[in-house]
């Protein structure tokens, strides 16, 4: 899935003080005074040394460089020097969180064996249609390594297993909550539901503006061609980070009041600006949408014949245009699927038949063309000089049955996962608060 991703100066501190609404009896009382005298030099985080020691565990320059290059690879390396510096700071924060997650898992006697990590690495490689060895070479060519990715996988596995042991048993979802959601779904039958993905960044009152700026930079990078999935995996603090931010299918009623109107207004394939929600900021990508409890037209199975007309390398543009025009005229008079072979033969082409083509698996442009076609009708010619000119002829269609409501157990699991995610964010926040972190 692809979607177009501190100031810490004396004046910045004064702005914070002037805007503070801390109560006078707060442990931090006095920060509401706009005339604070700064006695030392503020630390500029952009000049911090890269190496950090987290509760005794070292994060090296090499660790940071290799993880940064993973992020840059998702953007084909096309980021400015300023953005590279900001990404490096975010990578340091992510690596610190990973150390904390692995340390806590170890303290709670949660063990991840190397074979589990290797299997997960192989699955990631297969997503790129590569073997593990090929993917290793792919990473090396981009100045990173499998070890960097495997460390991230290790942290994800350890944290997930720790949450199952220490958080999930104490999260309760009432049967009445699930039934209420089922009732809302039935009442909403025929309305829209949305397949969305998220990037969540934790924020406090004090750093909200900085986190918003960081989130906006991610949005800009993704809109310029960066991988939403890659940014979600590297930067999101939600439990969905391990699956590229994928939240699955949701209804507006299941979303917070801040998110629902944004999701409903997003076009397919677009991402939102940062949205302030409880605990931080969210960036939402709309992958797809459909009607609640209604059959999804994209699940229709099509029987098609594909006519392919080869294009010689020396074909001129004028000749290609003439072939396209003749082919389109021929498809309109060939008499449907039965005449496909005869038409293809007249152009020196061939025909391939397939009766198991899922509409939703076709490219978006072809989905829009194929969905309203009647049996025997065909698409306009498409293709390239290298691949040849092609036409799809619709020979049959099996529309999907009407969708039923999700089961009680499915909704229970979804609601439980949402509550676990909130508890996990609080867990990690507490680990950060108690951590001893030394920058060298």
Residue where a domain terminates, one of 292, 318, 342: 292
On the 0-12 / 13-18 / 19+ scale of CB atoms within 10 A, 313 is exposed
Could you report how far apart the first and last alpha carbons of the chain are, in Å?
38
Q: Give residue 8's pLDDT.
A: 30
- Angle (CA) 368 334 398, round 5°: 45
CB-CB contact of 4 with 218 (8 Å): no
What span, in angstroms and rounded, lies between the C-alpha atoms of 337 and 344?
A: 11
DSSP alpha helix (H) spans, 60-207: 61-74, 81-107, 114-127, 132-140, 146-166, 175-187
Residue-wise pLDDT tens for the chain (440 aa)?
433 333 233 333 333 333 333 444 444 555 445 555 555 555 554 444 457 899 999 998 889 999 988 888 766 656 777 778 888 888 888 899 999 999 999 999 999 999 999 999 999 889 888 999 999 999 999 889 899 999 999 999 999 999 999 998 988 888 998 888 888 777 767 678 899 999 999 888 888 999 999 999 999 988 988 889 888 888 888 878 878 889 888 888 788 889 999 999 999 889 999 999 988 999 999 998 877 666 677 888 899 999 999 988 888 888 888 888 999 899 988 888 999 999 999 999 999 999 888 888 888 888 888 888 999 999 999 888 778 899 999 999 887 766 556 778 888 888 888 888 888 888 998 999 899 988 87
Check whether residue 288 and residue 304 sit in a common domain.
Answer: no
Is residue 256 a part of any domain in this protein? yes
Check whether residue 251 and residue 280 sit in a common domain.
Answer: yes
Check whether residue 77 and residue 148 sit in a common domain.
Answer: yes
CB-CB contact of 285 with 196 (8 Å): yes
In the chain, the largest separation of any two C-alpha atoms, in whole Å, equals: 89
CA Rg, the chain, in Å? 27
DSSP sequence for 216-240: HHHHHHHHTT--HHHHHHHH--SGG
Structure tokens at 310: 């080869």
Check whether residue 285 and residue 352 sit in a common domain.
Answer: no
Q: Give how far Cα 172 sits from Cα of 412, 418, 419, 428, Å.
A: 10, 11, 8, 20
Check whether residue 216 and residue 263 sit in a common domain.
Answer: yes
The phi, psi pair for 383, rounded to 5°, reads 130, -165
Q: How many domains does the chain have?
A: 3
Residue where a domain terminates, one of 104, 135, 169: 169
Residue where a domain terminates, one of 292, 312, 344: 292
Nearest CA to 148 among 51, 65, 238?
A: 65
Nearest CA to 218 among 202, 199, 233?
A: 199
pTM, two decimals, is 0.56
How many C-beta atoms lie closer than 10 Å to residue 181's C-beta? Answer: 21
* Strand 437-439, strand 301-309: pairing: unpaired
Check whether residue 248 and residue 349 sit in a common domain.
Answer: no
Structure tokens at 130: 């590569």
Nearest CA to 344 among 381, 297, 307?
A: 307
Structure tokens at 316: 């001129």
Q: Give residue 268's pLDDT.
A: 86
Check whether residue 139 and residue 195 sit in a common domain.
Answer: no
Q: Give residue 402's pLDDT.
A: 60
3-state secondary structure of 303: strand
Is residue 29 a part of any domain in this protein? no
Q: Give residue 89's pLDDT.
A: 84
CATH code of the domain covering residue 154: 1.10.4030.10
Is residue 7 a part of any domain in this protein? no
Q: Give residue 77's pLDDT.
A: 58
Which strand (E) or helix (H) includes residue 256?
none
Is residue 70 a part of any domain in this protein? yes
Check whether residue 285 and residue 308 sit in a common domain.
Answer: no
Is residue 418 a part of any domain in this protein? no
On the 0-12 / 13-18 / 19+ scale of CB atoms within 10 A, 380 is exposed
Domain that includes residue 315, residue range: 297-398
CATH code of the domain covering residue 201: 3.10.50.40
CB-CB contact of 228 with 278 (8 Å): no
Structure tokens at 262: 């944004």
CB-CB contact of 288 with 268 (8 Å): yes
Q: Give residue 192's pLDDT.
A: 82
Q: Give residue 19's pLDDT.
A: 37
Check whether residue 314 and residue 394 sit in a common domain.
Answer: yes
Is residue 36 a part of any domain in this protein? no
Check whether residue 222 and residue 160 sit in a common domain.
Answer: no
Check whether residue 339 and residue 353 sit in a common domain.
Answer: yes
Check whether residue 228 and residue 135 sit in a common domain.
Answer: no
Q: Give residue 39's pLDDT.
A: 53
CB-CB contact of 197 with 284 (8 Å): yes
Contacts of 90 (CB under 8 A, 6+ apart): 214, 234, 235
Is residue 345 a part of any domain in this protein? yes
Is residue 406 a part of any domain in this protein? no
């Amino acid at each position: 899935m692809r979607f177009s991703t501190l100031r810490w100066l004396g004046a910045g501190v004064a702005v914070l003080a002037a805007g503070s609404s801390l109560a006078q009896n707060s442990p931090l009382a006095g920060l509401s005074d706009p005339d604070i005298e700064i006695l030392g030099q503020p630390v500029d985080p952009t000049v911090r040394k890269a190496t950090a020691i987290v509760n005794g565990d070292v994060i090296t320059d090499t660790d940071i460089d290799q993880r940064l290059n993973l992020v840059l690879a998702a953007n084909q390396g096309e980021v400015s020097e300023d953005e590279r510096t900001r990404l490096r700071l975010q990578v340091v924060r992510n690596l610190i969180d990973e150390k904390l997650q692995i340390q806590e898992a170890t303290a709670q006697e949660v063990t991840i064996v190397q074979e589990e990590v290797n299997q997960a690495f192989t699955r990631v490689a297969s997503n790129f249609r590569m073997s593990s060895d090929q993917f290793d070479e792919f990473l090396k060519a981009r100045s990173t390594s499998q070890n960097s990715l495997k460390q991230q996988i290790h942290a994800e596995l350890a944290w997930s297993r720790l949450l199952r042991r220490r958080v999930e048993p104490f999260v309760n979802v009432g049967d009445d909550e699930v039934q209420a959601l089922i009732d809302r779904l039935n009442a909403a039958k025929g309305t829209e539901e949305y397949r969305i993905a998220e990037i969540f960044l934790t924020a406090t009152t004090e750093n909200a503006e900085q986190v918003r700026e960081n989130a906006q930079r991610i949005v800009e990078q993704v809109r310029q061609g960066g991988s939403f999935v890659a940014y979600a995996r590297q930067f999101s603090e939600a439990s969905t980070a391990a699956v590229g931010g994928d939240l699955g299918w949701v209804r507006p009623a299941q979303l917070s009041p801040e998110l629902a109107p944004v999701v409903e207004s997003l076009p397919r394939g677009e991402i939102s600006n940062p949205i302030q929600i409880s605990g931080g900021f969210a960036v939402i990508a709309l992958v797809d949408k459909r009607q609640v409890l209604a059959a999804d037209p994209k699940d229709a199975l099509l029987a098609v014949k594909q006519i392919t007309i080869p294009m010689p390398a020396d074909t001129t543009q004028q000749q290609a245009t003439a072939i396209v025009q003749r082919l389109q005229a021929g498809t309109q008079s060939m008499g449907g699927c039965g005449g496909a072979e005869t038409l293809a033969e007249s152009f020196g082409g061939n025909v391939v038949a397939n009766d198991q083509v899922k509409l939703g698996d076709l490219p978006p442009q072809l989905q829009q063309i194929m969905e309203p076609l009647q049996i025997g009708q065909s698409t306009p010619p498409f293709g390239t000089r290298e691949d040849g000119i092609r036409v799809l002829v619709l020979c049959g269609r099996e529309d999907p049955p009407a969708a039923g409501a999700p089961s009680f157990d499915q909704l229970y699991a979804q609601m439980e996962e949402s509550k676990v995610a909130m508890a996990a964010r609080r867990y990690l926040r507490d680990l950060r608060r108690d951590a001893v972190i030394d920058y060298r």
